[in-house]
């Protein structure tokens, strides 16, 4: 819960050969996904989440929901939550009875939901279209992204995109140690009515919770 990675795609060429590449075909596909997402006033999505080790063994798996409205989001994994009003991020862990508070930062080393679905790739990544794959029985386009900032804790982002729907189906983030965070979008509903209150943390609704302000 401390880091929220969103991502996705298999590396089909060497790191050095790819590091400066920005494939125009990949950009056209990513732009189509970004433009469609930006046309929505809100998004409600259900997703599944896995952590895999470098050998591909699943270490943990969960299901969650995410509400997005502009730069704001509310992510729930059961009772755990990550909430942002666009300026502040609250990370609520009920098992520890604690919420940590951080500044939202567009240059942070994690990938936020907005970064995944919008044009974060133009600034932060080199990218390439690597062909058609099958994910969950569906034909998708595979796009490989490598961070231009080598200090980021992940080595690559792997995206699987439904070209006909201009929608991300699955996303992986691969850490430098080989561990992989796999996110699969199970359903997505645009333009759902959402109250602004769900995008901020109200301590009164969480009695006994310790607030740790890291700003």
Tens-digit pLDDT profile for residues 142-177: 999 888 888 888 888 889 999 889 988 888 888 888
* 130 in Cβ contact with 142 (< 8 Å): yes
pTM score, whole prediction: 0.77
- The residue among 114, 113, 166, 174 whose CA lies nearest residue 140 is 166
CB-side neighbour CA atoms (13 Å) of 124: 21
Rg (CA), the chain: 17
- Among residues 162, 161, 156, the alpha carbon closest in space to that of 180 is found at 156
Domains and CATH numbers, the chain: 15-213 (2.50.20.10)
Helix ranges (H only) for the chain are 15-18, 24-38, 113-117, 121-124
**For position 135, what pLDDT does the model report?**
81
**Model pLDDT, residue 2:** 41
DSSP assignment letter at 47: E
Low-confidence residues of the chain: pLDDT under 70: 1-21, 106-120, 122
Q: Provide the pLDDT for residue 130.
A: 87
Rounded Cα–Cα distance for residues 94 and 80 (Å): 6
| Confidence at residue 157, expressed as pLDDT on a 0 to 100 scale | 87
């Amino acid at each position: 819960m401390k880091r929220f990675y969103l991502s996705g795609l298999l590396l089909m060429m060497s790191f050095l050969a790819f590091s400066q590449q920005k494939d125009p075909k990949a950009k056209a596909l990513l732009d189509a996904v970004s433009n469609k997402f930006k046309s929505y006033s809100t998004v409600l999505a259900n997703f599944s989440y896995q952590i895999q080790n470098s050998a591909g063994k699943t270490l943990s798996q969960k299901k969650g929901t995410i509400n997005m409205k502009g730069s704001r989001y509310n992510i729930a994994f059961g009772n755990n939550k990550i909430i942002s009003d666009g300026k502040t991020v609250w990370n609520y862990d009920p098992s520890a009875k604690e919420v940590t508070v951080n500044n939202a930062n567009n240059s942070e080393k994690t990938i936020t939901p907005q970064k995944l679905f919008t044009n974060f790739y133009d600034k932060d990544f080199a990218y390439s279209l690597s062909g058609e794959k099958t994910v969950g029985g569906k034909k998708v386009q595979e796009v490989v992204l490598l961070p231009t900032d080598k200090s980021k804790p992940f080595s690559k982002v792997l995206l699987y995109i439904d070209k006909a729907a201009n929608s991300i189906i699955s996303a992986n983030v691969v850490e430098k140690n080989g561990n992989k965070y796999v996110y699969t979008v199970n359903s997505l509903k645009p333009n759902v009515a959402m109250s602004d209150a769900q995008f901020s943390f109200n301590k009164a609704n969480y009695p006994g919770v310790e607030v740790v302000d890291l700003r």
